[in-house]
Structure formats: C-alpha cells, structure tokens
Amino acid sequence: MKREDFVPDVIWVRRADGWMVPLSRAENPEEWLRIVNDGDAVVTQADDGTNEYDGRGIIPTSSSSAPSVMAEMLELLDVTVGTDVLEIGTGTGYNAALLAERAAPGHVTTMEIDPTIAAHARQALERTGYPVTVITGDGTRGYLERAPYDRVMATASALWVPYAWVEQTRPGGRIVLPLVGGFGRGAFLRLTVDRNGSAQGRFHGGASFMRLRNQRDDEALWEISDTADAEATTTGLFPREPFTDFEAAFALGARLPGWVTGERNDSDGRTILLMSHFDSGSWATVTSGTDGHKVYHYGPRRLWEELEAAYEWWTGTGRPDHSRFGLTITPEAQTFWLDTPEQLVSSQ
C-alpha cells in the first residue's frame, strides 16, 4: 500500500506570503510526489472547499496526516484481527486502509462529514481493494447501525468527547483521539470504556489536528467587541506561557474548559492576549506595557483573574506536563484530573 494511492491529484501548499495554493499532480508530478512522500502532513482541502479566495486558500480543512503520527495513533489504538473499528474523519482513506489491514475485511467503518472527501476516499479504497464501509455523515454521532465497536478512533481534534462514542464502544474497548483545550494545545487521549457507561484514560504525546467541524470555536474570539463597553483595570502579572508554552497551555486548557484564546499585535507592536468563554458571554483582553498591563473585562466573569489563578495553580503544583493529566467521562460530565482521578482539575 502506498500513500500516493489515496492522496487526491490536487493538494495544497503554503507559499511564503501565507496563502495556500493548489498543486496539481498532472501539471507538476515530480513536486506532487515529493511532497506526498516526504513524511509530513499533506493538505488536501482548504477552507472547506469553498474556493472563496479565487483559487487561494487560508485554512487547511482536510489532510493526510504524517505517517509517523498515524503510526503513533494506531499503536495507542491496538487493533488486531477481528477488531470492530469506527474511524471518525476518513480524509483520504489511507488510515482506514491501514486499519483494515489489521482488523481483517468487513470490520472497519469510517465516517466523513464532507461528501466530496467521502466520495474520493470511497473510490480510493475500492480501487485499492480494501473493504471498508465509508459513511457520509456527522461522526460526532457515531454510527449506531454497526455498533458496538471494540475501537473508536478520531483523526480530527475535539474540544470534548462526544458521549455517543462511549455508548457505542463495548466494555473494555478503547477510544483514541486528539483532545485540545481552549489554549490551542492538544494531546492524544486513550480512553477505556467500562461496564457502567463511563470511560477513563490518560494523555499520551502532543497532537495537532484539524478540528471536528461542529466543534470549531474561532467565532468566540470574533465576538470580542469594542472595549468602550468593557471595564478597564490593570495587572502586574502578564504570563505568556499559557499562550506560547505547550505544557502551560495544555494544563490551563484542562483547568479552564470552555475557553477560547488567542493573541495579536497592536498597531504599536505590543502583544494583546484575548480570551472568551463560550457559555457566559464573557471576554477579556490584556495589553502588555512597561507601566503595567491594561486589562479589559466584559460580561459576568472576570476571565483574566481566572486565568491568573489558574496559572498560579499550575506553577504551584510543580508545572505538571500533559502526561500527568487524565479524563473521566460519564453520561453527566467530563472531568479532568491530575495524576489520579481523585485529584480533580475541572469538570464540564
């Protein structure tokens, strides 16, 4: 099996000016093949295929993951002959073919929300002789018709684990996915499902994946409006680590679920940190300065003060890395913990 058998004839590459542009196999076969075989992720769709920028693209929305990353996930999943597998996020179909090689014919179901991408994968799998059931639909709902599964695997990152995946997994089965927090850093989560309808597991290694389409959170930052209606204060603490350091960002994402964060440069070059909370309608911005840092709060929650408290919690607990965190899922809640399930970090 070759990766090139599944990657579409048009891929997307990033130019020096930041735009993504299509690269056709027919027009430049040597460059196309070099990119497909160089071991990195290959972008296969930009901007959900809308082509709203006249042939250029901004945001990658589908890809063929780097083979090394795929191997890491497959190792965590541990598929053997006879294992019933549900994959969320078909993409090119290459990963589904790898699953089929391990599970045996007829045991792999894969779901893709984008009809065009699903059709391409279905054709590639048929052409290469891999008997995989390709379903066009919302993978966050699972696929009840072929449940229960021994393994569920998501190849798109999630802010929270859809409970349907737990419900459709046999007791003792595994769920593997990249989970990302509100500070933009994610890690592979491996869950084991028990007989009581719950799942629990730890995080393993950093992971950067495109988001599940119905869990995108970018708009929460766009809703940050003019600071004229916000309360202005100052702070002496301006921790950049939650926005720049992987371990800090992951830990605070676990501590502060439901957040969206980002940063931009002001017209004078100063950094502005932005944060928003989904449910409360609250947001805050912080601008660095030599004479103190300016904070604007809007809404019922004082988000910057919550971030400062979370940052002090992380430093006070010895700056734990992502591998010390875990997650427990029940029908009622998803709970982050540190080291042991008894040491609760947050719940949503």
Of 193, 201, 207, give the one whose Cα is nearest residue 151: 193
> In the numeric block, which tokens belong to residue 322?
């992502």
Strand-by-strand arrangement of the 20-24 sheet: 20-24, 10-14, 42-46, 60-64
Type of residue at 6: F
Is 65 catalytic? The answer is yes
Q: How far apart are CA 33 and CA 286, in angstroms?
A: 46
Q: Is the peptide bond before 131 cis (omega within 30 degrees of 0)?
A: no
One of 62, 63, 64, 65 is an active-site residue; which one?
A: 65
Type of residue at 147: A
Burial of 191 per CB tally in 10 Å (0-12, 13-18, 19+): buried
Q: How far apart are CA 103 and CA 170, in angstroms?
A: 16
Quick count: other Cβ atoms within 10 Å of Cβ 272?
16
Of 91, 169, 164, 104, give the one whose Cα is nearest residue 132: 104
Of 167, 133, 169, 166, give the one whose Cα is nearest residue 149: 169
> In the numeric block, which tokens belong to residue 331?
């029908």
Of 194, 164, 165, give the one whose Cα is nearest residue 177: 165
3-state SS, residue 167: helix
- Give the residue numbers marked as catalytic: 65
